Amino acid sequence: MQVHKETIDAVPNAIPGRTDIELEIYGMEGIPEKDMDERRRLLEQK
């Protein structure tokens, strides 16, 4: 992927395991199911 005339192959400073640049999220669409489940679990614990 090219951003500002630089080619990148991973998301800089990303959480380990979340460096994929192919993921496209728009609003709530495109969020991986495992990440949604993790977020729901964290919210239920509060």
Is pTM, for the whole model, over 0.75?
no
Q: Check residue 33 and give its pLDDT.
A: 94
**CA end-to-end distance (rounded Å), the chain:** 38
Residues present in the chain in total: 46
Q: Check residue 31 and give its pLDDT.
A: 92
Per-residue pLDDT 10s for the chain (46 aa) are 777 888 888 888 998 988 888 888 889 899 999 999 999 999 999 7
* Beta strands 6-7; 2-3: pairing state: antiparallel
The radius of gyration of the chain's CA atoms, rounded to the nearest angstrom, is 14
Residue ranges of the domains in the chain? 2-45
Strand partners, 29: 26
Q: CA-to-CA distance for 27 and 29, rounded, in angstroms?
A: 6
Q: Could you tell me where the DSSP H helices lie in 1-46?
A: 33-45
Q: Check residue 4 and give its pLDDT.
A: 82
